[in-house]
């Protein structure tokens, strides 16, 4: 059975003047231990989906349709108290802006401790010891527990957040652009760390990024999002070698392959816009594509 099953999820931002769909009938599922990537440009609705799964979106956003089932339980039916128990225990999240997701006036040890103590009956001393172990797990010295966030480097801070995310051994980890603010070397270290932890703790991952090369490196399956809709969903290799949707191909053409012969890069030309994306159709086993869409111009300048 899938850990997470998202069916026709629709999120709208409602205001007096108009309402905008942040996510439009989005469907996907994640299996135990699987890494699913969601890619797309800024504003396409990736983060909206991630935050909707944890019911973290604020007014004026509301979920206007679809279902989210976690381990068979309907997340959209949970009340605030139930959600509070479920969050982090079962699904943890590393946010886009990990640099600022730590409370600047609390020692990181205290922030790890209050995560543990919110969900487990455990003494402060024990929690503090566990917090030290968690830091060690991401290769940070346990005596940094007494440090404040501003005393850590960006990479260290992100690793603290990852340690925090793993603290309760959740079944699913949502990574929302976890390395965007970091330099390339640190990015690789962080990804390496995530991969090791995933192997060790066997959690499923929803990985969100706009960086296609990172995406292909880490994910088992990839979904491509445009304007709040998924236009193509397939195993990573299929996306890389046999993308069907013109937008996916445009995306793939927009970054250089790490190895192989030099190729000409093509951008996402203004003409490639998709406003009304039809439902997905299965073109091959495990490969879903939205039909239609303008073919891209091969020789776009």
Partner 1 sequence: MRFILRRIGFYLLAFWVSITLNFLLPRLMPGDPVTRMLSRSQQRLEPQQIEALQQMLGVNGGPWWQEYPDYLRRVLTGDFGVSISRFPTPVTEVIAQQLPWTLLLGGVSLVIAVVLGNLLGILAAWRRGGLLDSVAPPLLVFIGSFPYFWLAMGALYLFGVMLGWAPLRHAFSVGLTPSWDPTFIGDVAAHLVLPALSIVLVSIGGWMLGMRNTMIATNAEDYILMAEAKGLSPSRIMLRYGARNALLPSVTSIGMSIGFIVGGALLTEVVFAYPGVGYQLLAAVQGLDYPLMQGLFLTITAAVLLANLLVDLVYVRLDPRVRVA
Partner 2 sequence: MSIQSPESLAHAAAVRDAAEPPSTRSIATRPPERRPRARGRQLLRLLRALSRNGKAVAGLVILLVFVALALAAPLLFPGDPSRIGSGGATPPSAEHLLGTTAKGQDVLALTIWGARSSLLVGFVAGVLSTIVGIVVGLTSAFFGKRVDDALSLVTNVFLLIPGLPLLVLLAAFLPAGLGTVIAVLVITGWAGSARVLRAQGMSIRGKDYVGAAITSGERPLRIMLREMLPNMASIVMTTLLACVIGAIGAQAGLEFLGLGDANTLSWGTNLFWASSDGALMIGQWWIFVPSGLAIALVAFALALCNYAVDEVTNPRLRRPRTARSATAPTTVARKEDAR
Residues that bind partner 1 (CB under 8 A): 54, 56, 83-89, 92-93, 95-97, 100-106, 114-115, 118-119, 148, 150-151, 161, 164
Per-residue x/- mask for partner 2, residues 264 to 283, rule CB under 8 A?
-x-xx-x-------------
10 binds partner 2 (CB under 8 A): yes
Instruction: Judge contact between 144 and 176, C-beta under 8 A.
Output: no
Nearest 5°: the CA angle 285, 289, 291 is 130
172-to-129, 136, 140, 211 alpha-carbon distances in Å: 24, 22, 23, 21
| Nearer to partner 2 (CB atom), residue 41 or residue 220 | 41
Interface of this chain with partner 2, residues 83 to 142, rule: CB under 8 A? 83, 96
> CB of residue 189 vs partner 2: minimum separation in angstroms?
14
Q: Which residues are 11's β-sheet partners?
A: 23, 63
> CB of residue 166 vs partner 1: minimum separation in angstroms?
13
> CB of residue 77 vs partner 2: minimum separation in angstroms?
8
Number of C-beta neighbours around residue 290 at 10 A = 22
> CB of residue 217 vs partner 1: minimum separation in angstroms?
26
Instruction: Judge contact between 35 and 48, C-beta under 8 A.
Output: no
Number of C-beta neighbours around residue 12 at 10 A = 18
Which residue has 């030290």 as its token pair? 132
> CB of residue 255 vs partner 2: minimum separation in angstroms?
4
185 binds partner 2 (CB under 8 A): no
> CB of residue 25 vs partner 2: minimum separation in angstroms?
6
Number of C-beta neighbours around residue 146 at 10 A = 11
Q: Is 5 exposed, middle or buried (0-12, 13-18, 19+ CB in 10 A)?
A: middle
Q: Which stretch binds partner 2 (CB under 8 A): 9-17, 99-107, 108-116, 236-244?
A: 9-17
Q: Which stretch binds partner 2 (CB under 8 A): 75-83, 131-139, 198-206, 284-292?
A: 75-83
> CB of residue 92 vs partner 1: minimum separation in angstroms?
7
What are the tokens at 273? Answer: 């816009």
17 binds partner 2 (CB under 8 A): yes
Taken in order 158, 163, 166, 167, the sign of the CA dihedral is negative
The whole-angstrom separation of Cα 46 and Cα 55 is 14
The whole-angstrom separation of Cα 107 and Cα 143 is 11
301 binds partner 2 (CB under 8 A): no
290 binds partner 2 (CB under 8 A): no
Distance of CA 131 to the CA centre of its chain: 24
| Nearer to partner 1 (CB atom), residue 39 or residue 53 | 53
Number of C-beta neighbours around residue 237 at 10 A = 12
Instruction: Judge contact between 9 and 68, C-beta under 8 A.
Output: yes
**Interaction partner, residue 92 (partner 2, partner 1, none; CB < 5-8 Å by kind):** partner 1
Q: Which stretch binds partner 2 (CB under 8 A): 8-16, 100-108, 127-135, 281-289?
A: 8-16
Contact residues: partner 2, CB under 8 A: 8, 10, 13-20, 22, 25, 40-48, 50-52, 55-66, 76, 78, 80, 83, 96, 180, 184, 187, 210-214, 251, 254-256, 265, 267-268, 270
């Amino acid at each position: 059975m899938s850990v997470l099953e998202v069916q026709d999820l629709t999120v709208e931002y409602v205001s007096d003047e108009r309402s905008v769909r942040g996510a439009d009938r989005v469907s996907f599922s994640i299996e135990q231990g699987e890494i699913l990537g969601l890619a797309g440009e800024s504003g396409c609705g990736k983060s909206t989906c991630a935050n909707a799964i944890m019911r973290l979106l604020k007014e004026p956003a509301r979920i206007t349709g679809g279902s989210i089932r976690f381990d068979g339980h309907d997340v959209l039916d949970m009340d605030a108290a139930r959600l509070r128990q479920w969050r982090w225990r079962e699904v943890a999240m590393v946010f886009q802006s990990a640099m600022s997701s730590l409370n600047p006036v609390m020692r990181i040890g205290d922030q790890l401790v209050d995560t543990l103590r919110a969900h487990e009956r455990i003494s402060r001393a024990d929690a503090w010891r566990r917090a030290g172990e968690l830091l060690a797990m991401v290769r940070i010295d346990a005596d940094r527990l007494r440090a404040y966030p501003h005393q850590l480097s960006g990479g260290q801070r992100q690793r603290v957040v990852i340690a925090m995310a793993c603290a309760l051994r959740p079944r699913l980890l949502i990574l929302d652009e976890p390395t965007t603010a970091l330099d390339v070397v640190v990015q690789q270290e962080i990804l390496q760390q995530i991969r090791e932890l995933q192997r060790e703790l066997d959690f499923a991952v929803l990985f969100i990024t706009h960086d296609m090369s990172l995406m292909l490196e880490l994910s088992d399956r990839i979904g491509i999002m445009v304007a709040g809709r998924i236009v193509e969903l397939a195993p990573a290799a299929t996306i890389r070698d046999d993308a069907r949707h013109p937008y996916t191909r445009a995306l793939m053409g927009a970054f250089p392959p790490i190895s192989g012969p030099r190729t000409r890069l093509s951008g996402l030309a203004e003409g490639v816009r998709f406003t009304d994306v039809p439902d997905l159709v299965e073109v091959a086993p495990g490969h879903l594509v939205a039909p239609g869409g303008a073919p891209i111009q091969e020789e776009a300048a």
